[in-house]
Amino acid sequence: MCGFVGFANLKEDISSKTNIYNMNNTLSKRGPDEDGYYYEKNICLGHKRLIVVDPDGGKQPMTNMNSNNVFTIVYNGQIYNTKELRKELEQNGYEFDSYSDTEVILKGYMHWNHDLVKKLNGIFAFAIWDGNKKELFLARDHFGVKPLFYTILNDTLIFASEVKALLAYPGVEATLDEQSVAELFGIGPARTAGCGIFKNINEIKPAHFAIFNESGLHLQKYWKLESKPHYDSLNDTSNNVRHLLEDSINRQLFSDVPLCVFLSGGLDSSIIAHYASKYFEEHRLGNLNTFSVDYVDNDKNFQKTDFQPNSDKYFIELMQNKLHTNHQTITLDTPELADALEDAMIARDFPGMADVDSSLLLFCKNVKPYATVTLTGECADEIFAGYPWFFREDALKSNTFPWSIAISERQNLLNESISSKIDLKNYIDYRYQESLSEVDILDEDSMETARKRKISHLTLNWFMQTLLDRSDRMAMYNGFEIRVPFCDYKLAEYVWNIPWEMKALNGREKGLLRYAMKDILPEEIVERKKSPYPKTWNPTYLATVKNKLTKIMNNPNAPINNILNRKYILEILETNGKAFSRPWFGQLMTGPQLIAYLCQVNMWLEKYNPKIEL
């Protein structure tokens, strides 16, 4: 895993070493092991490398010549069908100098051109420069696990793995306009695909590629989930799910550096740990290393809720004893969580999921001394319908994104001047309807399947994207790689078309997945009600973030006052967040997390100092 930057201009000489160095240095945390550069008259490329596979053969930028044409790549990701693609390319006369997936992508592009992306199974973002054509090709993986942002300034296409790198290019400014505010406070911490929050900053959407040539920038979608009839029986469907899952997990266990699994004792992480342990045993790799996160005094302060009915400890020990993993629990304290809010914001480049972000950032930081790569159960709830809003009528009939229904409260956060110009509900409705228009409903779909296709589409394309952003940024800020086997596009294609009555077998969230695992995992794990990523229940956390926000609000120069409703924020503080009557986002961002989010907003405004055009 890595980070990369670049800029291209086909009309003039832009080979500025200073610019490319400055941009690349902003990504040092993504790639702490090596850096590299490539220059031509019309293109500059920079790369920061986190070494995971083939230390010597995977150096970047990587250049190769074919029929006197020079191709150069910068790349971030991991391709899981590298062996198959290399074999196919070798059969077509290509020779390889390494076993890196970087070389396979580069020579695959030389052979298949733009169709290469249709053959890749993995997580990726890359840019390839065709020296003869004077053409740049950019691409991003099916679900957007790996990031790729861009802007165009005076005929120059500027691109990078993170927004902070774009802002290091002379003339690229952080500017907030009406859409920026609507994204931040109407959609946030989610983002509309393709939107980089700041004015004129965009991203290559998931499952898209872009071609930059003399006629400009051209974007094209190469993949989508297609609705098709499902004819498999329950048992066949269950067997196919198991096969696809095991295949995805096994492909992602390849690494030249230490690898582990995040284990919470929930169904999803337990599935990953089971198949990973089996793989380690079959390949005589020793016992699998697993890690979990907890918080000081969480056992003492835990409160059972509909969303979090039990704590993880018992279930982790159950799986640890079954699989004989080498397990460690990383315990975080309240001050750490609050102090890391700023780093979490910088990692994302935007206000995010508050301590839900900072805890993962600290978790990865503490695991990094033991491993560089981990597999997690992320995305299972999106693929297999694990969230409460798949089942709750109030959520299904909300006519908005069901994880973000506090629309009037969000509007009330804006100060009067801005609120009079920006109607968050109208913006949210527009994005909601725009997204639903992309869903294919089949004539043979039952009413329930049709309804659940829609909410599945929203969950996959909005909520899951937010969590994938979180995973990438918090991990890569520590030079650490998170892999997500449930996000395999072949698995997603298959499960997308399973009828709702089968997917939610026995009326349970992830009912089919539970059925598929009933003879593989302990019954207590299979039947365990979904429990989200653990958060701190320590009351000192609320006190800490409340104190932080109070200090901000007592500062007359705090930039948050230029955008938000001071009176409402003070009310939120006085009521410990209860004045904001519903969760800010998802299941976890309640009072303390909203207060922490507002702290992040002020930190962000101070750090990025955006120009405001409203």
Count of alpha carbons within 13 angstroms of residue 208, beta-carbon side:
17
Q: What is the DSSP string of 37-52?
A: EEE-SSEEEEEEE---
Residues 214 and 245 in one domain: no
CB burial of 568-580 (b: ≥16 within 10 Å; e: otherwise) equals bbeebbeeebebb
Residues 414 and 461 in one domain: yes
Residues 348 and 244 in one domain: yes
What tens digit of pLDDT does each residue of 74-129 get?
A: 999 999 999 999 999 999 999 999 999 999 999 999 999 999 999 999 999 999 99
565 in a structural domain: no
- pTM summary value: 0.96
Residues 208 and 322 in one domain: no
Residue among 165, 169, 228, 178 at smallest CA distance from 9: 169
What tens digit of pLDDT does each residue of 244-286 get?
A: 999 999 999 999 999 999 999 999 999 999 999 999 999 999 9
Cα 349 from Cα 95, distance rounded (Å): 41
Instruction: Show which of 159, 190, 221 is a domain's final residue.
Output: 221
Q: Band of the pLDDT at 303, cuts 50, 70, 90?
A: low
Residues 217 and 269 in one domain: no
Chain mean pLDDT for the chain: 94
Identify the CATH number of the domain in which residue 37 sits.
3.60.20.10
Cα 207 from Cα 204, distance rounded (Å): 9
The two beta strands, 62-66 and 43-49, are unpaired
pLDDT value for 309: 56
Based on DSSP, count helices (H) and strands (E) in the chain, helices before strands: 26, 19
What tens digit of pLDDT does each residue of 164-208 get?
A: 999 999 999 999 999 999 999 999 999 999 999 999 999 999 999
Burial status of residue 267 (CB atoms within 10 A of its CB: 0-12, 13-18, 19 or more): buried
Residues 210 and 239 in one domain: no
Q: Which domain holds residue 273?
A: 234-526
pLDDT at 492 over 70: yes
Residue among 469, 440, 474 at smallest CA distance from 196: 469
pLDDT value for 579: 82
Give me 106's structure tokens: 């580069």
How many domains is the chain built from? 2
559 in a structural domain: no
Residue among 468, 437, 397 at smallest CA distance from 191: 468
Residues 349 and 435 in one domain: yes
Instruction: Show which of 526, 553, 584 is a domain's final residue.
Output: 526
Residues 302 and 410 in one domain: yes
Residues 393 and 417 in one domain: yes
Instruction: Show which of 172, 189, 221 is a domain's final residue.
Output: 221
**Which distant-in-sequence residues (6+ apart) come within 8 Å of 213 by Cβ?**
10, 133, 134, 135, 136
What tens digit of pLDDT does each residue of 38-68 get?
A: 999 999 999 999 999 888 889 999 999 887 8
Identify the CATH number of the domain in which residue 430 sits.
3.40.50.620
Residues 383 and 468 in one domain: yes
599 in a structural domain: no
Enumerate the H helices of 283-406 as residue ranges.
298-301, 313-323, 334-339, 341-348, 355-367, 380-384, 393-396
Residues 496 and 352 in one domain: yes
- The catalytic site residues sit at 2
Residues 238 and 217 in one domain: no
Give me 193's structure tokens: 């695909």
